[in-house]
Structure 1
C-alpha cells in the first residue's frame, strides 16, 4: 500500500503529500517526537499534525511511548517503499544538518570525478550549451537531496550538458552502502547525441540509476513519460521563450500533484527581463520557493559573469503546461535568435568594415578584436547601422490562446440554472478584462444549458450536462490585455468543480517577417 497517498486521502492535507513524507522521515531518523515539536518543525498547525499522527497510528506506522516512534511496519515501509534502506545513516544525517559537511563533500566528489566532467563533449554554442563547473553539478545534486527530491524519487533532467544526472547518481553511491539497489530513477531528455552517448557510457561504467532519452523538446513529448516524475532540473537557453518551452515540457512530465520541486537555472537578468521571467512562472501556475543568485558557476561564460541563479519553483493546483504536450513548438528559443544578424563593424583607425554573419572570416567581434584589424593591426572597432529597417518577428507571439476545459463533479443545480451560468460566464469575461459584444444562452429540455459570450477578443462558450455533473468550456481570447486563465480559474470556483482537465492551444502562429521603414 502507498501509505502516503492513503494518509493524504484520509486527512486531505492542504500542505500536500510532501509534509506527510517529511513527518515519516523525521520520526524515522530522529524518533521520540512530541506532537508539538514535530508540528513546529513541519510548519503545520497542531490539529493537522494530530490528524496525521492518528492516521499513522491506525495504519500501524507509528506508536506512542515517550513520544512518537516508528514501528517495525513503519520502518519496513520507509526503507523498502521510500528507498531509505541500506543508507549510511551518519553520513546522511550530517549532510542534512551541516552546511559545512555538504560543502566538504561537494569538493571531495568534485576532485574525485573531475576528469569525468572535464571529458564532456565540447559545447555547441549554437544551442546555448555552456558548461557549469563540476562543483556546481554536485551542488545541484546536493540541493536535490536536501529538498527531499532525490532518494527513492523519479527525477528528470530537461537537457543535461552539465551532467547533473551523473552527479546525483554518484552522490547516491556515496551515501548508500555497497551493492545497494537504488529505488531512485534519474532520466534525461537530451537532443545532443554526443551527450546521450556519453551519459549512457558513464551510467553503465558506474552502475548508476540513470537513463538518457534522445528528445528534442520542440517535438511532442513521448507518451510514456507523461505525469511520471517527482521533480525536474532545467537550465534552458536564457530567453523567456526557452524558459517557457523547458518548463512546459517538464511540467507535462511531472505527476499531477502540488508541492513538487523544479530546480531552474537561469542567468541574472536586468529588472524588465526578470519581470518577464516571473510572469512566465505565473503563467505556468508555479510559485517561487527560493532564489540563490550566485549558485551556478560556468566555465568561460564571461557574458554571464560566470555566475547564474538557481530558482527553486513549486507546483500548485493551477500548474499547467503553456505549450501543449502533443504540439510542436516552432518558437525561436536560443539567445542568438534574439540578436541582430549580420552586424557590421568599422576599424577606428583605417575605417575598413567587417561583417559578422557567422559565415565570414571573423565569426564574432571578440575574435576580430583579439586578432586585430588585418589591414592595420588596430584592435578597436565601432558598430555600424547596416540596415534602415526594423525587423518584427511575428512568430514570437501567437494571435490567440484557446483553452479547452472539461469541468467534472460540478454542482448539479448550477449546471441547470440558465441565469447562474450566464452570470458566471459574463463575470468570467469581465474578470479576464475582455470586452463583451453579445450574449446568447439557451435552456434545453429536460436539462442542460448552452451559451456563448461573444467578446471583441473572440469568444467564451459553455455546454452543461447536469446529469453527469459535467461542463465543457471553450475560452478563446486574443490580444495581450485579456487573460483567459483568469476566466478559467473563476469558472472553476463558480462551477464548484472537483476535477478539471484542459488543453491550452496557441492559435495563429505567423511565420512571415514584416518589415517597417524606420
Structure 2
C-alpha cells in the first residue's frame, strides 16, 4: 500500500509526502465519514487538494467520503488495526476535554511503573518528567500520525517516554506493528525499561549507546520519528539532533519531538538558527507539556519543539568519528555553589571536582560536622569552558535589487569594500579584485582580523558578501550597513554565524 500512496502523491504533484495521505486514510477509517472540509481541517491541506486526494482514493477502490470494505481492509492491514479501539482514537484526536480527562485517569495506572525509574543523574543532565508529561508527549505521536505502523526511537529515555508510547499503543491498537527502540548511555535506565517491557509485553527494545560515538549502522535511517530530551547546552542539543537525523528515514516529513530547557532570547535565537541550518522546520513549540519532578535547574519546565524534516537535512556533527567536546551542562558550565549548614554554620563548596557534586548528595550525607541536612546557599559562580566562546564572527550578507551598473564596476566595488573595512575599524593587510567578462566581480579584502569578500551577479542585480572577523571588537554591523547602503539594495538579508564555537 505504501507504493500506492507514493504513486498517488506523484500523480497529484503533492508537495507533502505520502504521510499526509496516511493521516487522511486514518481519519476516514476511525471517523467513518468525513466531509471534504473536515478532512481538510484534519490534514491541514487546502480543500481543492483534499478533493483531488479523495478522487485518487476512489480510483483505488477505497472510497471517497467514507471507506468501502476494500478500503477498510487495506487500511486495517497496512496499519495493523485488528482489534483497534476506534472510539478511543476518535475521542483522543477530536475532543480536548476527553483527552485531558483520559490523561488524568491514566496517571495512577502508570505511576507505579514510573516510580521504579532510577534516580536522576544530574551529571548527564537527567531530570525526570512527570507521568502527565510522558502521556502528553506520547499523544503527540498520535497527533502527527507517527504512532501506528511506525518505528519510533527514544534517544535518551530517562523520562520513560517509551513506556508511555507503548501504553498508548496497547490502548488504541494492541496488534500494531509499531516498534519502539530506546538508546541510552545509562544502563540503569536500559535495565529497568527492558524489565518493564518484558513484564507487560511491550514492543520496546532497549540498547546501550553513547551519543558521542557514531550511530551504529543497525539504527541508521530506520526510524519514522525520534523523541529526545537533550542536554541543556547548545552543543549537546546539536549532537543529539545530528544523531536523530542519522537515525531517521531519509524521506522528508519525519518528526523529532525535541525537549529543551527554556533559555534567554539570545540562546533561543542561536538554537533556532542551528535548527534551520540542519534543515528542520519548526512545526510548533509547546510550552504547556514538559514538567519535571524537582528540576530546579529548569524551573521545573522546558519547551518542546515539534520538528519536521525536509529534503535538505544536514547533520551539524558528522557521524564518522567519536565526538570529543564537552556536551553536558556540568562540563560546559562548571558551577560551584557555597552552602552553609543552617545549624553549625559550616561552609562547603558543591560542584564538579568537589566531594559533593550536587546539593542532593550533600543533603543525603548531611553536614560533615553536625549531620544536619538543611543548608542555605551563600554564593554561586559559573565558569564556562573556553570552547563556548566563538573564535570568529561571520555575517553572510545577501543583497538583491542592487544598482546593476555598480555591480559590474570593479573599481567602485573595491573602494566600497575597503571603506567598509575602515568603517568596521579593521586593519587592511591587502586586497585583490577581479572583473569577469562579460560581467561580474569577485574580490577580497584581507584584514588583520580576517576578511571581507564579495561576488556579484549584475544580470540578477545580486551580490553575495561575507564579513568575517576573529576579533569581537570589530564593528561588523557598521560594515554591513555601509555596504548595503552603497549598493542601494532593495532587499537585504543577513545570516549570522558563530565560527569555532
Residue 260 of structure 1 deviates from its aligned partner by 2.2
Residue 343 of structure 1 deviates from its aligned partner by 6.0
Q: Distance in 2 between matches of 1:508 and 1:267?
A: 23
**Equivalent residue in structure 1 for 2:125, among 125, 128, 131:** 128
Q: Distance in 2 between matches of 1:400 and 1:223?
A: 36
Please give the per-residue CA displacement for 1:285-314, whole angstroms capped at 9, x wherever unaligned: 212222221311211112322222222121
Residue 6 of structure 2: aligned partner: 5
Q: Compared with structure 1, are the counterparts of its residues 347 and 84 closer, same or farther at alpha carbon in structure 2 (3 Å cutoff)?
A: closer
Q: Distance in 2 between matches of 1:31 and 1:352?
A: 70
Determine whether 1:285 maps to 2:274: no
Residue 28 of structure 1: aligned partner: 29
Residue 437 of structure 1 deviates from its aligned partner by 5.6
Q: Compared with structure 1, are the counterparts of its residues 478 and 189 closer, same or farther at alpha carbon in structure 2 (3 Å cutoff)?
A: farther
Determine whether 1:335 maps to 2:348: no
Residue 387 of structure 2: aligned partner: 394
Determine whether 1:85 maps to 2:82: yes
Q: Distance in 2 between matches of 1:38 and 1:453?
A: 55
Residue 31 of structure 1 deviates from its aligned partner by 4.0
Determine whether 1:319 maps to 2:319: no
**Equivalent residue in structure 2 for 1:149, among 146, 150, 171:** 146
Worse-superposed segment, 149-158 or 313-322: 313-322
Q: Distance in 1 between matches of 2:68 and 2:445?
A: 61
Determine whether 1:226 maps to 2:227: no
Residue 51 of structure 2: aligned partner: 50
Please give the per-residue CA displacement for 1:455-490, whole angstroms capped at 9, x wherever unaligned: 967999xxxxxxxxxxxxxxxx99799xxxxxxxxx
Superposition RMSD in Å? 4.0
Q: Compared with structure 1, are the counterparts of its residues 15 and 382 closer, same or farther at alpha carbon in structure 2 (3 Å cutoff)?
A: same
Query: In 1, are the aligned partners of 2:9 and 2:17 still within 8 Å (CA)?
Result: yes
Q: Distance in 2 between matches of 1:50 and 1:203?
A: 43
Q: Compared with structure 1, are the counterparts of its residues 123 and 46 closer, same or farther at alpha carbon in structure 2 (3 Å cutoff)?
A: closer
In structure 1, runs of 5+ residues without a counterpart are 402-429, 442-451, 461-476, 482-505, 510-518
**SS class of match (1:62):** coil
Residue 255 of structure 1 deviates from its aligned partner by 1.5
Residue 107 of structure 2: aligned partner: 110
Query: In 1, are the aligned partners of 2:333 and 2:384 still within 8 Å (CA)?
Result: no
Q: Distance in 2 between matches of 1:478 and 1:9?
A: 47
Query: In 1, are the aligned partners of 2:213 and 2:321 still within 8 Å (CA)?
Result: yes
Please give the per-residue CA displacement for 1:218-264, whole angstroms capped at 9, x wherever unaligned: 10011122222111111011111111111111111111222222211
Residue 298 of structure 1: aligned partner: 292
Residue 251 of structure 1: aligned partner: 245
Q: Compared with structure 1, are the counterparts of its residues 438 and 146 closer, same or farther at alpha carbon in structure 2 (3 Å cutoff)?
A: same
Q: Compared with structure 1, are the counterparts of its residues 57 and 297 closer, same or farther at alpha carbon in structure 2 (3 Å cutoff)?
A: same
Residue 465 of structure 2: aligned partner: none
Residue 171 of structure 1 deviates from its aligned partner by 1.4
Query: In 1, are the aligned partners of 2:282 and 2:308 still within 8 Å (CA)?
Result: yes
Residue 171 of structure 1: aligned partner: 168
Query: In 1, are the aligned partners of 2:185 and 2:208 still within 8 Å (CA)?
Result: yes
Q: Distance in 1 between matches of 2:451 and 2:222?
A: 36
TM-score w.r.t. the length of structure 1 is 0.70
Q: Compared with structure 1, are the counterparts of its residues 346 and 95 closer, same or farther at alpha carbon in structure 2 (3 Å cutoff)?
A: closer
Query: In 2, are the aligned partners of 1:155 and 1:187 still within 8 Å (CA)?
Result: yes
Residue 38 of structure 1: aligned partner: 39
Query: In 2, are the aligned partners of 1:347 and 1:381 still within 8 Å (CA)?
Result: no
Residue 85 of structure 1 deviates from its aligned partner by 2.9
**SS class of match (2:215):** coil
Q: Compared with structure 1, are the counterparts of its residues 348 and 21 closer, same or farther at alpha carbon in structure 2 (3 Å cutoff)?
A: closer
Query: In 2, are the aligned partners of 1:369 and 1:380 still within 8 Å (CA)?
Result: no
Residue 490 of structure 2: aligned partner: none
Residue 83 of structure 1 deviates from its aligned partner by 2.8
Q: Distance in 2 between matches of 1:400 and 1:352?
A: 46
TM-score w.r.t. the length of structure 2 is 0.72
Q: Compared with structure 1, are the counterparts of its residues 110 and 56 closer, same or farther at alpha carbon in structure 2 (3 Å cutoff)?
A: same
Alignment map for 1:229-240 (pairs within 5 Å)? 229-240=223-234
**SS class of match (2:275):** helix
How many residues are paired up? 422
Q: Distance in 2 between matches of 1:259 and 1:314?
A: 5
Q: Compared with structure 1, are the counterparts of its residues 345 and 24 closer, same or farther at alpha carbon in structure 2 (3 Å cutoff)?
A: closer
Query: In 2, are the aligned partners of 1:347 and 1:373 still within 8 Å (CA)?
Result: no
Query: In 1, are the aligned partners of 2:341 and 2:347 still within 8 Å (CA)?
Result: yes
Q: Compared with structure 1, are the counterparts of its residues 37 and 202 closer, same or farther at alpha carbon in structure 2 (3 Å cutoff)?
A: closer
Please give the per-residue CA displacement for 1:78-119, whole angstroms capped at 9, x wherever unaligned: 111123332011122111121222222223322112111101
Residue 383 of structure 1: aligned partner: 379
**SS class of match (2:61):** coil
Query: In 2, are the aligned partners of 1:295 and 1:309 still within 8 Å (CA)?
Result: yes
Q: Compared with structure 1, are the counterparts of its residues 458 and 201 closer, same or farther at alpha carbon in structure 2 (3 Å cutoff)?
A: farther
Q: Compared with structure 1, are the counterparts of its residues 384 and 38 closer, same or farther at alpha carbon in structure 2 (3 Å cutoff)?
A: closer
Query: In 1, are the aligned partners of 2:133 and 2:290 still within 8 Å (CA)?
Result: yes
Residue 61 of structure 2: aligned partner: 60
Please give the per-residue CA displacement for 1:334-367, whole angstroms capped at 9, x wherever unaligned: 1112323566679999998754454545545787
Residue 331 of structure 1 deviates from its aligned partner by 2.2
